[in-house]
Amino acid sequence: MDESLAHVQKDLEQKAEENEKPKKQKFRKDKPWDTPDIDKWKTEKFTQDDNPFGLLEESSFATLFPQYREQYLKQVWPDVKAACDEHGVRAELDLVEGSMTVRTTKKTFDPFIIIKARDLIKLLARSVPFPQAVRILEDDMHCDVMKIKSYVRSKEKFVKRRQRLVGPNGSTLRALELLTQCYLLVQGQTCCIMGPSQRIKQVRKIVEDCFKNIHPVYHVKELMIKQELEKDPDLKDQDWDRFLPKFKKRNIQTKKLKKKAKKQKTLFPPEQTPRKEDLQMESGEYFLTEQQRQKKKDDEKREKQIEKTLERKRKRAAAFEPSEDHRSAKATRSKDEQGSGAGTAVSASSSRPAGVLVSSAASSSSAAAETSAGKKKMKKKQSASSTTSARTSSVTGAASSSQTSELATKLKLKSKKSKTKSSATNCLL
């Protein structure tokens, strides 16, 4: 009775479990390897006991290497041969053709080791150092040699984005290596990745996105968050999208390209461009002798030199001409002086008696006449001096700086003397 009840209870439990399962997995039976303690990604080691009779056919792979790697490969090749001999693979180096070859032997027992050996010589050709490249012969190590040149057309963009992937002093590459547990090497137009198969896929996506103008820093942040979430067992079966950062793409306004005006299409072909001989015939130079042509060239050259020298002299002379501000200040000063002189004359006349006023007025008028006559003479002298200087400058060019400064000082002294004389006469009167 108890056995029958136990059997019924077991059936009920099985039905309850089947109802809980989704429709797709309704008839799915548990398998012995569906336990959480088994690592499904782990690769089983292949030993000689698994294939004691060896391989039937010989397989070989060859790859070329650049000339700058020749010296390094010469030094390292004995170690490469020793590493390949352990797995029953023969390695050959041809320095004439610049190639490396690996082939199976009768001692080879692992059928996949030839593929690993091919990857080894490929990595050595792409500047991966031997201590790192030899790790590819391990079972849990895989590699991927990406051709990154085809992602970008422009060479300038390619160089900038490749540098962005490397980072300042290789900091970005180092961060990716630590987070993904992979080895990365960017060399020329290729990127070599070494690591477990799960991680290689992640790194490949990051490299592709970098050349699609997505900065690797965003991926670095995402990987750091994922690494922290993996430590929490409660979040194992949950969606992580709410924890991951979401970066919005910014549309940067670029300058609009100017539309080029389309050329008018015509049925007739364009006119023939004139030859050098045709242009010489038009100018008449074609019919001149070699000496005449040379003379014409020399004359043109001399004319240009004369024009340049005259222009230089004009520029030098312009430095000694008074500016407009200086002229306006001088004019206002002269007006102020004239006003002050008239005021003093009026005050003197008011203080004297009536008899003397007539004589003083007459004397003041005569003094004013004398001063005006003196000013006119000074103006004439100045105009004469300016005309003479203009003539001399037109003939011989602009005067030197020392001569012009001397003339200016002399003129100032003369004007001061005339002013002092006029003021003295006013005082005496």
Same domain, 125 and 156: no
Angle between helices 216-230 and 197-211 (to 10 degrees): 150
The reported pLDDT for the residue numbered 158 is 95
What DSSP character marks residue 231?
T
Same domain, 94 and 155: no
Residue 293 in any domain: the answer is no
Contact 381, 418 (CB under 8 A): no
Residue 424 in any domain: the answer is no
Same domain, 89 and 168: no
Q: How many Cβ atoms sit within 10 Å of the Cβ of residue 187? A: 13
- Give the span between the Cα atoms of 340 and 332, in whole angstroms: 13
Same domain, 146 and 242: yes
Same domain, 235 and 149: yes
The reported pLDDT for the residue numbered 271 is 86
Query: What is the CA angle 20-24-27, rounded to 5?
Result: 75
- Give the span between the Cα atoms of 91 and 88, in whole angstroms: 10
What is the mean pLDDT for each group of 10 consecutive residues in the chain (429 residues)?
66 72 70 75 83 90 95 95 94 94 94 95 95 93 93 93 93 94 93 93 94 92 90 85 80 76 83 90 88 92 94 90 78 73 47 39 45 54 50 43 59 58 45
Which whole-number Å values give the CA distances from 114 to 28, 48, 75, 80, 104, in the listed order?
39, 15, 23, 14, 7
Domain count for the chain, please give it: 2
The reported pLDDT for the residue numbered 389 is 46
- Please report, to the nearest 10 degrees, the dihedral formed by the alpha carbons of residues 168, 171, 172, 178 taken in order: 170
pTM for the structure as a whole: 0.53
Which among 180, 214, 246 is the end of a domain? 246
Same domain, 242 and 193: yes
Read off the CATH number of the domain in which 121 is found: 3.30.1370.10
The reported pLDDT for the residue numbered 361 is 39
Residue among 118, 139, 134, 112 at smallest CA distance from 51:
112
Which among 246, 274, 297 is the end of a domain? 246
Identify the domain containing residue 54 by its residue range. 45-139
Q: Which residues pair with 195 in a beta bridge?
A: 142
Q: Provide the edge-to-edge strand list for the sheet that holds 142-147.
A: 142-147, 190-195, 183-187
